Amino acid sequence: MTIIYVDADACPVKDEVLKVAERHNLITYIVSNSGMRVPRSPLVKQMIVSEGPDEADNWIVDQIGAGDIVITADIPLASRCLEKGAAALGPSGKAFTAANIGMSVAMRDLTSHLRETSDFKSYNPAFTQKDRSRFLSALEETVRAVKAASNG
């Protein structure tokens, strides 16, 4: 059975994830370093991990398996989940795949290097309703694709 894992500390689409998960009757883990409000539902599990930069990531990677889905903006976490056969989707609706993860990692590393060695600034644009809609569509497609693959 497919399980959804949300790297939740800075995730702007938790409500959208829970909406899709409920529609498909999927268990969803909300993983974070601190407590947050989550709906009371037998399908929603909250996992609070120890403080630390990669504690939530490590917990997710230890749990996730083929056919599961992770929601994260963390590119290294997405890469680790892909290696385990899971699907990975960013809050923007971008699917991380074997074909694009290498470029995503390289761009992340380049941007990080530029920030460290120059006055380069990168800004994340405001998250809009259009972004939420795009994410909802992408998650719905991902859930259907994962379900179809596990039934076929």
Return the domain boundaries, the chain: 3-151
> Which position has the higher pLDDT, 80 or 120?
80
Q: Residues 59, 47: contact at Cβ < 8 Å?
A: yes
Is residue 145's pLDDT more than 70? yes
Is residue 76's pLDDT more than 60? yes
The candidate with the shortest Cα–Cα distance to 5, out of 98, 83, 78, is 78
Is residue 10's pLDDT more than 90? no
Over the stretch 110-137, which tens digit does the pLDDT of each residue have?
566 566 777 766 666 788 899 899 999 9
Domain 3-151, second-level architecture: 3-Layer(aba) Sandwich (3.40)
Is residue 68's pLDDT more than 90? yes
Q: Quickly state the pLDDT bin for 150 (edges 50, 70, 90).
A: confident
Is residue 32's pLDDT more than 70? yes
- Complete DSSP assignment for 67-98: T-EEE-S-HHHHHHHHHTT-EEE-TTSPEE-T
Mean per-residue pLDDT over the chain, rounded: 87
% of the chain with per-residue pLDDT over 70: 84
* pTM for the whole structure: 0.84
Predicted local distance difference test score (pLDDT) of residue 112:
64
| 11-20, 101-110, 125-134 — most confident range | 11-20
The candidate with the shortest Cα–Cα distance to 51, out of 36, 31, 77, 33, is 33
Predicted local distance difference test score (pLDDT) of residue 143:
97
